[in-house]
Each structure stands twice: as structure tokens, then as C-alpha cells.
A and B are shown apart, each in its own frame.
Chain A
Amino acid sequence: MKLNRLRTFMMGAATAAMTMASGAGSASAVEIEYWQYFFEARVDAMDKLIENFEAANPDITVKMTHFPYDSYRTKVAAAIPAGQGPDVVQLFYGWLNDYVEAELIQPLPADTFPPEKIEEEFFPMVKAMRMGDSYWALPTAVRSLALFYNERMFDEAGIENPPANLDEFVEAAKKLTKKDGAGNLTAVGITTGMTAQDHHWIREVLIRQFGGEPYLDDYKKVNYNNEAGLKAFGFYNDLQAKHGVTKAAFMDEPQAAFKAGRAGMHIDGSFRIGALESVRGLKWGVAELPAGPDGTKSNYSSYWVNAITSKAEGEKFDAAVKFMEYLTSDEAMQIWLETVGELPAKPSAAMTDENVNHPVYGPFIKGLEYAKTTVFANESAQRQTMVDMMQRIELQGQALEESVSQAAGEEQKILDEYYQK
């Protein structure tokens, strides 16, 4: 930790010194501003990227500003219309619609970022950033899901390999579950909790594996209140209700149970790697998400993107384009992977032999090839409909069909309200 601080400080000092030096050095220097929210590893990674970029482009300096996550959106919204703030800005993929509508960002120039080339080079889920004929934003890194498993508990239960499909998954979970004399769970086979990543697992993975398609019409129409949807939710609900291999919110949070060594398996995003690496005494492995009954593989990917704001004009715009080019280069993606642990957004950077065979990153990177990205209107509200769906079944004894149909109705209402504007 101390070393890390020191490194951050040195990096900051170096950047500051370079900013000053280049500012004083050349009269034609352009300074552009970059904004992101504060997360230590992301700030570290960006410091490195800026340093490399400035070394390659001595006439451009990049000034990074970061804010706490809570106030980030407000600050961006207030600054850009006032002609201040960032030239290049980071935003969550789900916010793109709002930013485009509010005219806070401008499309990426087609000569430097031709849409066909982007679609050829990037993983397919990045398509969500295309509106009309142009791309509005691009990610440096993306995140996907995988199955974390506790190696010690696997050894104890005599399971040799992580489960490859859903049947093996349930069998393994049964072997891993532990109970005390009174029948209380003391260790779960698999963690569940709709409030964590499970709603993504169901939406983009389970529903597709049971032969469905979670949404129609560009994610504007809910499509899980049908046979495939019921099978998927039924499978999920059975883990607790029928097989008894889990309990929602066991030990408060799924990741806490896994960290404490009281969960055999845990589905989570690549952003969890860093937190697990610092847990002493926990031996864990990562595997691809189990395949569906007919062998279908699927995954969910989310990402943060960078975009050029509507404020950037003239030479600042040119500098911003150059910076965006660097941020989407293979080199930047590799640095981001090593510093933050988020996965490269392009196969050319991600699918190197070293990355694909990496014991930890490998399964996540393989997942990217078939990952889908949900286009949310209001992610937290849409997640809430699924949280409530499962709780109505668990706490109030509502029938599965009824609960799924109610949730579908509620979610459709959220989508309709958002898109009718």
C-alpha cells in the first residue's frame, strides 16, 4: 500500500513536472483536459497513459482531473455547456444516450475512426456505441463475467475440474454445500444475490442458454415472460428452493462469502480480481461460465468509454482525436489490463497467447468473444425489478410465473417511460 502511494505520488510528480516543462518549452503547445471519476487504479493507469502519450506528442499536454463518483455526472453536466471542463471525458456505456441527447459529446471523426474499421477491430458488443453512421465513444477496457471457485473446497469435495455446463454446476454445488446440525447453511455451493452480478447472468446468459432472447427491438421490449425466461428463472430459483445449495444474501454479500472461504463458487466480474488477490489464505481459480443445456455459451460485458466533448474545437479537437487514438491502441489496452485488471476491448490486444492462457484473465477474455451488452434505460431500476421478483417468490410465496410476469410488466414500464421522450 505504502509503495503504491509512493508510486502514485512519483507518477503525479513526474506528470506535473512534464506538464510544467512542456508548458514552458513550446509556445504552440496545446493543453487538453481529461476527466474521469476517482478510482485509484484507474487514475494510476491514466497517469501512465498520459505520460506515454505526451512523450510521443511533445506539443500536446493532457491535464487529468478526477472527481468522486457521486458528483461526477453533475460536474460534467455543469461544466461542458459553460465551455469549461474536459475535452475528452469518460462515461459509462449506459449513459451514452443521455450524453448525446444533451449534446455534451460529439461523434468521433469518420476519417480517423471509420465505423467499418471499428467493427472489424473491436469486440462485437462495442457496437452499442454506434448511433446512426458514426461512433460516439470507444472503450479502452471492458469487463466480463466468469466463475470464481474455491480450490480448497473443490479438493475437499473431490471435484477435479470446474463445471463445464449447468448440470455439472448444480452437482458441484451440491457437493460443496455444508450445513450444521440444525440444518443451517455454513457454506454455500454457489453464491446467489440478485443485487450483485446475478441479474446480468440471468439476463444475458441463462435466458439465452435456455433458448430465449432477453429483449427485442434494441432492448426496448422485454422478452423473458415466456417459456425460455421461465426456465431460466426457474433454474436460478431452484438453486435455493429445490437444491438448497445457496441462500440469497448468505453472509450479507456474495463476494464476502467467497472471500471468507464459505462459498464454493461465485459468479462475478473481472473487476473483482484485484480484491480477491489481496485476500490471504484463499486459494481460488477462475473458469468460463458454465455452458447451457445445448452447449450455448454466453456472457455479459459492461464498460466505460471515452468520448470527445462538444467543447473541444480547432486544435484542441485535433489533439483530443490524437489522444483518443492512443487510448484505443493495443498498447494502452495492455497497460490498462496490467494496472487496473480490466480487459482489452480489441481482440488484437486481448487474444494474445499470453492473455488467453493467463490463469486468471484467460476465462474472462474468452468470454468476451461471445459476450453481449445490455442496453439499460435505468440500470438500478431495472435491476430492482429482478431483485423484487425473486424476493416475492422467496418471502411472499408468489408463484414463479406470476412473479416473472409482474417483473416483466414493471421493467417494460421503465423502458417505455424512458424511450417515449
Chain B
Amino acid sequence: MRFYNNLTISQKQIVWAWIFLALPVLFYVVIRFYPTANAFVLSFQEWNLLGDRKYVGLENYTRLFSDPVFWKVFKNTFMYLILGTPVSLVLSFIIAYHLDKVRFMHGTIRALYFLPFMTSAVAMAWVWRWFYQPVPIGVFNNFLASFGISQIEFLSSTTNALPSVLACAVWAGLGFQVIIFMAGLRAIPQSYYEAARIDGVSTWTVLSEITIPLLKPTIVFLVVFSSIGFLRIFDQVFNMTTNNPGGPLNSTKPLVLLIYDTAFNGFNMGYAAAQTVVLFTILLVVSLIQLRLLKDS
């Protein structure tokens, strides 16, 4: 007690701060950091959930990098990212930009865009899965067939399946991005626009010189946020291809689905942990690069 009394006021504040922080810190250590560290250790071991863990050194990693399925999955994961992030950002910006100008039923329209974001991903994926079926049940193909146009193979084609799954994922995330963009647009001071109008600048110049530069913080946030989302895509893929997860011929399989399959169908926990470490590294590197690129310039 004497020790405490001898402290200065600011030192006492620090002591109290740590006392209050103790609970969340403990929580994070137990719930987050310990399992994460454990996964790193596990990636150097062999374990089938039953029995003992056995150290195998780098075997899981060498096996991973020599597995053609892993590289296919790696490529798919980046396809989701490279196609998904720009498409969803451009779409949501266009919608937000125009929605911002609409006065008629503004609230209702905004709510409609936000609705998919609130729907369960599983339910949505199954509805889209039904849309994509061939005749006689699929909505899209029945529509095509009624005009005498030949059917399109959506989910059962190695080339169309990934974009088909992605379309559903982009649509699902659109509402959220639109709302964030609109908040960003509203935060731009009106005085800049007034000045531009007095100078008689074209709409395009206003957009490229005022709106987009001032939206940079919003764009950075959305790029990082949606990239992480696409790199971790799972729900839509798994639910739209449950019979042959990640199929056909692994053409839609993302890394997270590979991890799930290795861990809970193959019961190969060490190998799955190695895949998880790779995913973690990818997420970390991609996020750091994006923050760097978009913040500095």
C-alpha cells in the first residue's frame, strides 16, 4: 500500500488504466492470442484430433507447396480478390454517387440496397444456387429457354462457376459499401462544391478533383475491408457447391474451404494449420501493401 501511495498522480492513473484493461487483455490472450500461437505450433505437427501430436518439422509446408490443388486454390483466392474488390467498389460508388442526388423516396431506396447485407449469407447463397440451375428449375435458364436461347451452364462449368459465385458475394456486400460511400460523400464540405460552381467547372472535373480525392480515407477503408472479405470468402462458395464443395474440379475452391476440408473431412489438423498460417500471411501482406499504397500518395 505504501508503494502505491508513493506513486505520482500520473503513475497512479497508469496503474488504474491497467487494472481496468486487465479483463479485456486477459480475454484477448485466452480467446485470440493463445489459439493463434497454438495454430502456428500445430502447423509443424501431425495430429488427427485423436491421439498425440507429433512434430514433423516443415513437412506440412513442403507438402503444401508441392500440391497442385493448393496452387489452384491460391489462384482462385486471388481471383475472388482481383475481380471482386474493384467490381464491388466501382458498383457501390456509382450507386452511392447517384443515390446521393436522389431525393424521391431516398430512405426507402437506400434501405432496399442495404437489405441484402442484413440477410443471412446461407439463405442468400441457396436462393442464388436455385437461380443458377439448368431447366426445368433454374430461374435464369428458364427465362433464357422461354426465348429459345440455349442454356448457360453457371455452376457446373469450370469457367463460369467462379464469377457466378462471386456475383452473389458482390451483391451481398453492396449495401454496406453503398452506405459507407454515402457517409463519405456527405462528409465533404459543401463549400468546395460551391466554389467549383462559381468557377464554372465541369461535372467530371468536380468528380475527379474534389469528390474522389476527398473520399480517399473512405476508399482506403473499403478496399482493405472488402479485400479481407474476398480473401476469406467461404459461406457463398460452400453453400452454392455443397455437393461438391469448391467444385467443379476445384474451380471455385477458396483457401478457407480447403482449410475446412483438410481439417474436418480429412482430420489432418497439422496440414490445415499450415494452410491457415499461409492464409494469415497473405491477409497480412495484402493489407499492409494496400495501406501503404493508398495512404502515402
Closest Cβ of chain B to A86, distance in Å, is 14
Contact between chains at A387 and B247 (CB < 8 Å): yes
Chain A, 188-221, contact with B by CB distance < 8 Å: what is the 0/1 string? 0000010110000000000000000000000000
Contact: A102 with B247, CB < 8 Å? Answer: no
In the complex, B133 has a CB within 8 A of chain A: yes
In contact, A391 and B249 (Cβ under 8 angstroms)? yes
User: Across the interface, which residues of B come within 8 angstroms of A98, CB to CB?
Assistant: 48, 50-51, 267
Q: Is the CB of A104 within 8 A of B50?
A: yes
Whether the Cβ atoms of B264 and A102 lie closer than 8 Å is no
- Tell me whether A388 and B50 are in contact in the complex, defined as CB-CB below 8 angstroms, given that A195-B243, A195-B244, A252-B137 are known contacts: no
Q: Which residues of B contact A196 (CB under 8 A)?
A: 243
Inter-subunit contact A381/B266 (CB<8 Å):
yes
In the docked arrangement, what's the CA distance between A218 and B264, Å? 25
Given contacts A73-B49, A98-B50, A186-B135, contact A249 B265 (CB under 8 A): no
Number of chain B interface residues as a range: 20 to 34
Instruction: Output the nearest chain B residue to A70 by Cβ-Cβ distance.
Output: B264
Are A251 and B133 within 8 A (Cβ)? yes
A309 to chain B, nearest CB (A): 12
Give chain B interface residues in 45-63, CB to chain A under 8 Å: 48-51
> Does A101 contact B266, Cβ atoms closer than 8 Å?
no
Say how far A146's CB is from chain B's closest CB, in angstroms: 21
- Provide the A395-409 mask, 1 if CB < 8 A to any CB of B, else 0: 110000000000000
Q: How far is the CB of A334 from chain B (nearest CB, A)?
A: 33
Q: Which of A99, A380, A395 has the most CB of B within 10 A?
A: A395
A185 and B266 CA atoms in complex are apart in Å by 36
Tell me if A249 and B156 are in contact (CB < 8 A). Answer: yes
Alpha-carbon separation in the docked complex, A196 to B250 (Å): 18
Interface flag for B290 (CB, 8 Å): no
Take A73-B49, A184-B151, A395-B157 as given contacts and tell me if A249 and B267 are in contact as well, using a CB distance cutoff of 8 Å: no
Determine if A380 and B137 form an interchain contact, defined as CB atoms under 8 angstroms apart.
Answer: no
Contact residues, B227-264 vs A (CB, 8 A): 243-244, 247-250, 261, 264
Interchain CB contact (< 8 A) of A396 among B158, B244, B266: B158
Q: Most B CB atoms within 10 A — which of A76, A193, A251?
A: A251
Task: Pick the residue among B51, B133, B136, B264 that contacts A101 (CB under 8 A).
Answer: B51
Q: A395 touching B158 by the CB < 8 A rule? A: yes
Q: Is the CB of A380 within 8 A of B48?
A: no
Residues of A within 8 Å of B130, CB to CB, are 252
Verify A387–B267 contact, CB threshold 8 A: no
Within 8 A of A (CB), among B153-174: 156-158
Chain B residues whose C-beta falls within 8 Å of the C-beta of A384 in the assembled complex: 244
Q: Are A102 and B50 in contact (CB under 8 A)?
A: yes
- The reply to whether A102 and B243 contact each other, CB–CB distance below 8 Å, is no
- Is B145 positioned at the interface, with any CB of A under 8 Å from its CB? yes
Q: Which residues from chain B contact A180 at a C-beta distance below 8 Å? A: 135-136, 145
Q: Name A380's contact: one of B148, B158, B265 (CB within 8 Å).
A: B265
Q: Mark A67-102, 1 if CB is under 8 A from B, else 0.
A: 000100110110000000000000000000011011
> Nearest chain B CB to A79's CB is how many angstroms away?
11
Cβ contacts under 8 Å, A119 to chain B: none
The answer to the question of B184 belonging to the interface, with a C-beta cut-off of 8 Å to chain A, is no
Among candidates A74, A99, A186, residue contacting B136 with C-beta atoms closer than 8 Å: A186
Q: Which residues of B contact A249 (CB under 8 A)?
A: 156, 243
Query: Do A392 and B135 touch across chains, with their CB atoms under 8 A apart?
Result: no
Tell me how many residues of A have a C-beta within 8 Å of chain B.
37
Kindly identify which residue among A103, A182, A262, A395 contacts B248, using a CB–CB cutoff of 8 Å: A395
Instruction: Give the residues from 256 to 283 in chain B that come closer than 8 angstroms, CB to CB, to chain A.
Output: 261, 264-267
| Contact across chains for A391 and B136 when beta carbons are under 8 A apart | no
Bound complex: CA A391 to CA B151 (Å): 19
Question: Would B247 and A391 count as touching, CB distance under 8 A?
Answer: yes
Q: In the bound complex, how far is the Cα of B157 from the Cα of A249, in angstroms?
A: 12
Query: What distance in Å separates the Cβ of A332 from its nearest Cβ neighbour in chain B?
Result: 27
Kindly provide the distance from the CB of B200 to the nearest chain A CB, expressed in whole angstroms: 58
A184 touching B135 in the complex, CB below 8 Å, given contacts A70-B264, A102-B50, A396-B249: yes
- Select which of A70, A76, A184, A392 is within 8 A of B145 by beta carbon: A184
Q: Output the least CB separation between A57 and chain B (Å).
A: 31
Residue of chain B at shortest CB distance from A378: B266
- B148 near A182 (CB under 8 angstroms)? yes
B116 at the interface (CB under 8 A from A): no
Chain A residues with CB below 8 A from B261, complex form: 380
- Which of these, A251, A253, A381, A395, contacts B249 with CB under 8 Å? A395
Interface string of B139-157 (1 = CB under 8 A from A): 0000001001011000011
Chain A residues in 8 Å Cβ range of B135: 180, 184-186
How distant is B215 from chain A, measured CB to nearest CB, in Å?
Answer: 42
Bound state CA distance, A376 and B189, in angstroms? 66
Give the residues in chain B near A247, CB-CB below 8 Å.
134
Contacts of B145 in A (CB 8 A): 180, 182, 184
Contact of A184 with B134 in the complex, beta carbons under 8 Å: yes
Q: Which residues of A contact B50 (CB under 8 A)?
A: 73, 76-77, 98-99, 101-102, 104
What separation, in Å, do the CA atoms of A326 and B48 have in the docked complex?
32
Q: Across the interface, which residues of A come within 8 angstroms of B264, CB to CB?
A: 70
- Given A253-B243, A380-B261, A102 contacting B266 (CB threshold 8 A): no
In the bound assembly, the distance between CA atoms of A88 and B158 in angstroms comes to: 46
Q: Which of B133, B136, B244 contacts A387 (CB 8 A)?
A: B244
Complex Cα spacing A29 to B248, Å: 56
By a CB distance below 8 angstroms, the chain B residues around A391 are 247-249
Bound Cα distance from A74 to B266, whole angstroms: 13
- With A102-B51, A249-B243: A73-B267 Cβ-Cβ less than 8 Å: yes
Q: Which residue of A74, A98, A186, A249 has the most chain B CB atoms within 10 A of its CB atom?
A: A249
A91-132: which have CB < 8 Å to B? 98-99, 101-104
Nearest B-chain residue to A256, judged by Cβ: B137
Name which residue of chain B comes closest to A380, CB basis.
B265
Bound: A262/B145 CA distance, A: 18
Instruction: Tell me the minimal C-beta distance from B82 to chain A in angstroms.
Output: 23
Q: Which 7 A-B pairs have the closest CB atoms?
A: A102-B50, A102-B51, A380-B265, A195-B243, A77-B50, A184-B135, A391-B248
B residues contacting A by CB (< 8 A) are 48-51, 129-130, 133-137, 145, 148, 150-151, 156-158, 243-244, 247-250, 261, 264-267
User: Apart from A378-B266, A380-B261, what 11 extra A-B contacts exist at CB < 8 Å?
Assistant: A77-B49, A98-B48, A98-B51, A103-B51, A185-B135, A380-B266, A387-B247, A395-B157, A395-B248, A395-B249, A396-B158
